[in-house]
Structure 1
Amino acid sequence: MRDVATDTIDTPKSPAIVVLIAVMAALGGLLFGYDTGIIGVALLGLGKYFALDDLTKQLVTGGIVFGALFGCLGTGPLSDRLGRRLMVIAVGLVFAVGSIASAISTNIEFLIFSRFLLGLSAGSATQIIPVYIAEVAPPQHRGKMVVLFQFMVVFGITVAYFSGFVLGDHWRWMFGLGLVPAIILLLGMVVLPESPRWLVMKHQELKAQEILERLRASKDAAIAEIAEIETVANHPQGSWKDLMQPWVRPAVVVGAAIAMFSQITGNNALIYYAPTILTSAGFSHNAAILGTGASTLLVVIMTMIGSILVDKIGRRRYLLLTIPGSIVALIVMGVLFMGAGPQSDLSKFLVVACLCIYLMLNCGGFGVCIWLINAEVYPLFVRGKGAALGAFSHWFFDLIVTLTTLSLVTALGATYTFWLYALISIGALIFIIYLVPETKGKTLEEIEGDLKENRFYAYQQKK
């Protein structure tokens, strides 16, 4: 019996179908970006409507992050059991429900619960969508295809900020607009195919080959890829405990640490709270929103550039080129907030410029690579659970940053908070230099081979 999803695709044998799959699946990234970004603008209106203090603002913002912790862990085992495609459909469905619930909230408790629902879906999206795209994309284009997810994330954040600027204090409309891309994602995924690698893992080689013949330039290429997948697919489906096997552990270290550093270096902290920090420093509401919105627009541009560069110069080298600049921007921004903070028009302009540079290089660096690396490094038999663990690391440290940023700024001051993030970024740079491997141009099966032969870490590859 033929697979329903396979029957719906009558597209000629062309890589264009892979682009369509990546774009449609990456709409989950747009939802993730929109719903995490919109809170930064909505807090200004919510603060007036519900009379929120700093702690409650952090709880409202953290609701989506807390939900994501559960979403990413639960999706890994389910995607291994039920399939990648079905879980992407579930992502769209929960996003739709959470968007409606957030828009109709009448009290702060229900709003936090609604944000928790959105978090379940956001966490699931960060686990399953990069894995789904990575498993259908050809190796030479896998980087730019998976980075489409991150492009949609930062595009969603940008849409959120400029939508918030237009809508003013109408926070219900801000939350409700998330329903639109959720419906598009649901409709699109109905006609897209299952991951061929998941099908091989489930001993459905004929269905997998039929799909690959539609995704690759020739039947011979599809047959060769199936044969390569089968060399690693005969391993029994792994458990959480298998992630701690000595040969798998390096993938866990790299995947989880890159996810951790993407958060504790401060980028989401500033995306969530930049308008609040800027207004407390004397910026008008509109100037704070537009300043942060301009930053996210630059992140979109940098993500587009990064999506090309990661397949040309490599993931690791790209990180080594972007992160140092973000460190300098944080240090300068800390200097500008010393004493009474930015007072003159020039100093305020420099603050916004540093914010733009920092977010462009940090989000455009870590953001481009985090989901790509996390989808590539794990062996097939634990890829779902490994990607879930990496996503959990992202959301766990995002939650810590979300619940502490405003308190840190109050306790330490903006200057020392920015310098703390700069110090952590230096630690991240050292980690990348010595441990993060280069995966550019390698098949997923070749990366698995590096793990088995103890030549995975960057310093091992240089021997």
Structure 2
Amino acid sequence: MPETTTVAAPAAHERVRQPAQVYAVAAVSALGGLLFGYDTGIISGALLYLREDLHLSSRGQEIVVSVILVGAMTGALVSGRLAGRLGRRRVVLWVAVIFAVGALGAAVAPDTSTLIAARLVLGLAVGGASNMVPVYIAEVAPPAIRGRLMVLFQLMVAIGQLIAYLCGWLLAGSGGWRVMFGLAVIPAAVLAVGMTRLPESPRWLVEQGHTTAAHAVLSRLRLQGADIGGEIAAIREISAATPRQDGRALLQPWLRPALVVALGVAAFSQLTGINAIVYYAPTILSDAGFGQSVALVTGIGIGTMLVVAGITGALAVDAIGRRRTMLWFIPLSGLSMAVLGLAFLMDSSPAQHWIVVIALFAYILCNGIGMQSVVWLIAPEILPLSVRGPATSLATLTVWGFDLLIAVTALSLISAVGRSGTFFLYAALNVLCVLFVALKVPETRNRPLEDIERALRAPGSLRRNLADPH
């Protein structure tokens, strides 16, 4: 008799229209993703002129790019703690305010030091948004559509990055970077106003003992006739099984499989090289002889591929599953990165330029579908309710920590080993990512969060416990 316990998958869900409130919650809160994408992506186009206006060296450019990630790491840690005390909705509301303050500060910065300080403030908001928005959506969404609503966050990140590339092209020229930074105030204001009209997470309400309020929220977020009492009872059962604990609870052995998956996916989301391209593609291409206008237009193409990847990923994670999406597309991501490395070994020519651009686009598309569509989805799904705040903060901190590593080393690595050597290294890390997913990552498609937690607590392998017997 096998030692593992398989948690049965629910029956197939019919295609039914969910309450409008569910989509309103996801759409408004995902504006945090748009701000995240815009404020991390806008530096790509702005950097071409910042480095001239402020006389930045390669190391200075890396600092201006990467300081937002230092703030993001801090924001991820602080937001997780505050969310447990104040609630998810209120934290996202404050994130919107901080976005607006940071954007205004960057727009009017008179010197490099002030710009760095403003981008540090923006980082606090980026970290808070990347940590709390996926958790908020995960805790209000019905299981049948949770994947696509959570991937909406990543899609909004991609749309924000595309808008940033377009603004970088339209506002090209000395001083245009100030308007680029300032435009982020508009979606920040919309997010702040929108969050004042949205409900609190029903799971947080139950955890705080506000069962009546949780019932009222769920009645607006679930289909008519849904077993709201049963859902609240399941949340209460899981919450009572492990009382709320601090970060030391993350050391418990039964949590380890979920942490390995969440932190591993978080690390590989950056180690596979996506933000080396997002942050520095125009700079890399300009320095390689493509010309600034061509580099900026290529950046728009990269932003477009990110949006296409976001839409495709949103469909794929629910249609074929999280694990299979990764296993299908990450190998193609690695192959595209290897082709990019080979292209930079060729002599400069129109054919070489086309190969570089096509390989860049293919890499962004495949990595965006296979990796970026899953990274903000897997941690809130797989980490248990009692430690979801600090555990998701740790996963988000891992994303930003490795993002920071990429940001502060990309240009220096290119200087040390060349463009080809750098891209071959990223290709190898894509291969390691595929091995990690194959060995460790379970399938969570269509699983209620409480079922996933039961599988985590059950004896045996988490991946096998969540395996679909069909």
- Common topology (TM > 0.5): yes
Q: Which residue of 2 aligns with 1:451?
A: 456
CA 1:42–1:75 in structure 2 vs 1: closer, same or farther (change >3 Å)? same
Q: Which residue of 2 aligns with 1:245?
A: 252
Which residue type is aligned with residue 191 of structure 2? Answer: L
Report how far residue 218 of structure 1 moved.
Answer: 2.2
Contact 2:313 2:368 in 1 (8 A): no
Contact 2:154 2:310 in 1 (8 A): yes
Q: Which residue of 1 aligns with 2:393?
A: 388
CA distance in 2, matches of 1:126, 1:456: 29
Residue ranges of structure 2 left out of the alignment (5+ in a row):
1-16
Q: Which residue of 1 aligns with 2:243?
A: 236
Matching of residue 400 in structure 1 with residue 405 in structure 2: yes
Q: Which residue of 2 aligns with 1:258?
A: 265
CA distance in 2, matches of 1:168, 1:461: 50
CA 1:162–1:342 in structure 2 vs 1: closer, same or farther (change >3 Å)? farther
Contact 1:455 1:461 in 2 (8 A): no
CA distance in 2, matches of 1:215, 1:95: 28
Which residue type is aligned with residue 233 of structure 1? Answer: S
Report how far residue 342 of structure 1 moved.
Answer: 4.9
Report how far residue 219 of structure 1 moved.
Answer: 4.7
SS at match of 1:194: coil
Identity %: 42
Q: Which residue of 1 aligns with 2:416?
A: 411
CA distance in 2, matches of 1:413, 1:125: 35
- Equivalent of 1:279, from 275, 286, 291? 286
Report how far residue 14 of structure 1 moved.
Answer: 5.1
- Equivalent of 2:437, from 426, 432, 435? 432
Contact 2:452 2:466 in 1 (8 A): no
CA distance in 2, matches of 1:286, 1:49: 18
Report how far residue 401 of structure 1 moved.
Answer: 0.6
Q: Which residue of 1 aligns with 2:168?
A: 164
CA distance in 1, matches of 2:39, 2:440: 33
CA 1:134–1:461 in structure 2 vs 1: closer, same or farther (change >3 Å)? closer
CA 1:33–1:215 in structure 2 vs 1: closer, same or farther (change >3 Å)? same
Which residue type is aligned with residue 388 of structure 1? Answer: S
Report how far residue 95 of structure 1 moved.
Answer: 0.2
Q: Which residue of 1 aligns with 2:303?
A: 296
SS at match of 1:238: coil
Report how far residue 460 of structure 1 moved.
Answer: 5.8
Q: Which residue of 2 aligns with 1:337?
A: 344
CA distance in 2, matches of 1:211, 1:459: 34
CA distance in 1, matches of 2:148, 2:461: 22
Alignment of 1:342-357 (within 5 A): 342-357=347-362
Matching of residue 53 in structure 1 with residue 31 in structure 2: no
Report how far residue 457 of structure 1 moved.
Answer: 3.4
Q: Which residue of 2 aligns with 1:268?
A: 275
SS at match of 2:290: coil
Count of matched residue positions in the alignment of Structure 1 and Structure 2:
449
CA 1:19–1:94 in structure 2 vs 1: closer, same or farther (change >3 Å)? same
SS at match of 1:168: coil
CA distance in 2, matches of 1:103, 1:204: 42
TM-score computed with the length of structure 1 as normaliser = 0.95
Measured on the aligned residues, the alpha-carbon RMSD in Å equals 1.3
- Equivalent of 2:199, from 172, 186, 193? 193
SS at match of 2:265: helix
Alignment of 1:204-215 (within 5 A): 204-215=210-221
CA 1:426–1:293 in structure 2 vs 1: closer, same or farther (change >3 Å)? same
Q: Which residue of 1 aligns with 2:143?
A: 139
- Equivalent of 1:175, from 175, 181, 197? 181
CA distance in 1, matches of 2:342, 2:145: 42
CA distance in 2, matches of 1:232, 1:150: 28
CA distance in 2, matches of 1:162, 1:29: 17
CA 1:172–1:231 in structure 2 vs 1: closer, same or farther (change >3 Å)? same
TM-score computed with the length of structure 2 as normaliser = 0.94
SS at match of 1:192: coil
Report how far residue 366 of structure 1 moved.
Answer: 1.1
